[in-house]
Amino acid sequence: MIVGEQKPIKEIMESVAPYKRVLILGCGTCVKTCFAGGEDEVEVLASALRLAFKTKKQRSIEIEELTIERQCENEFIQEAAAGIGRNDVVLSLACGAGVQAMAERFPAAPVLPGVNTTFIGIQDRPGIFSERCSGCGDCGLARFGGICPVTRCSKKLLNGPCGGSQNGKCEVDPSIDCAWHLIIERLTELGQLDNLKTYIPPKNWQTSTSGGPRKLVREDQII
């Protein structure tokens, strides 16, 4: 899932301050799972903003709350149309893709981000999330026993460990597991250590974001 966290309330207050009527728009998928932008977070943020503006004795602000299933999918975006029409600005609690999808679909409405999008990851345990994929565009997980060195090795090494790990921890950050320690353990378990005998040439980073914004075309889905 896409992992993000809500922006600090001070930053959000500054961004919505010029507007009188604000629609706080939640997204019911990834950002809901990581407690950044689902229905509950919309409700809590709306109350916090109302209180904060009232306490500061600034001019009154009207806040409407709405959460749609996904802000990044056309199928659901239209559900926000009426709410957007009633307000001066949209404070989106979606990831960066959702914010941009809303801005493209409703070009007349200012759409502000309320969440800092951080990474593609998983929930390790309640409240703890960690990065698992950098979206490099050329997945090699089959070779690495399902553990991504592009994302989880601090040096992004593709042909084995740097030799600096101690007790299975990364020399760059001893609080994290050495990705190559994990890869070798997993490949040993799977009986696939021979995978590492094949040299992997320098990665073609054109499939990653270094080649500019990417586009995925599925010809079979185009109608």
Residue 181 burial (CB count, 10 A): 18
Kindly tell me which residue out of 12, 94, 161, 183 binds ligand SF4, with binding defined by CB under 6 A. 161
- Can residue 190 be called a binding residue for ligand SF4 (CB under 6 A)? no
Q: Does 170 bind ligand SF4 (CB under 6 A)?
A: yes
Burial class (CB in 10 A: 0-12, 13-18, 19+), 125: exposed
Binding mask 62-101 for ligand SF4 (x = CB under 6 A): ----------------------------------------
Backbone dihedral region of 179: left (phi > 0), alpha (psi from -120 to 50 degrees) or beta? Answer: alpha
> Which among 46-54, 73-81, 84-92, 157-165 is the span making contact with ligand SF4, rule CB under 6 A?
157-165
The alpha carbon dihedral of 86, 9, 99, 25 has a sign of negative
The candidate with the shortest Cα–Cα distance to 151, out of 3, 45, 31, is: 3
**Complex with ligand SF4: residue 8 or 160, whichever CB lies closer:** 160
Contact region for ligand SF4 (CB under 6 A) — 79-87, 93-101, 127-135, 189-197? 127-135
State the DSSP code for 31.
Answer: H
How many other β-carbons are positioned within 10 Å of the β-carbon of residue 72? Answer: 19
Residue closer to ligand SF4 by CB (options 42, 153) is: 153
Residue span binding ligand SF4 (CB under 6 A) among the ranges 10-18, 60-68, 86-94, 134-142: 134-142
Q: Does 157 bind ligand SF4 (CB under 6 A)?
A: yes
Residue 21, sorted as left (phi over 0), alpha (psi -120 to 50) or beta, turns out to be beta
Binding site for ligand SF4 (CB under 6 A): 133-136, 139-141, 148, 150-151, 153-155, 157, 161-162, 164-165, 170-172, 178-180
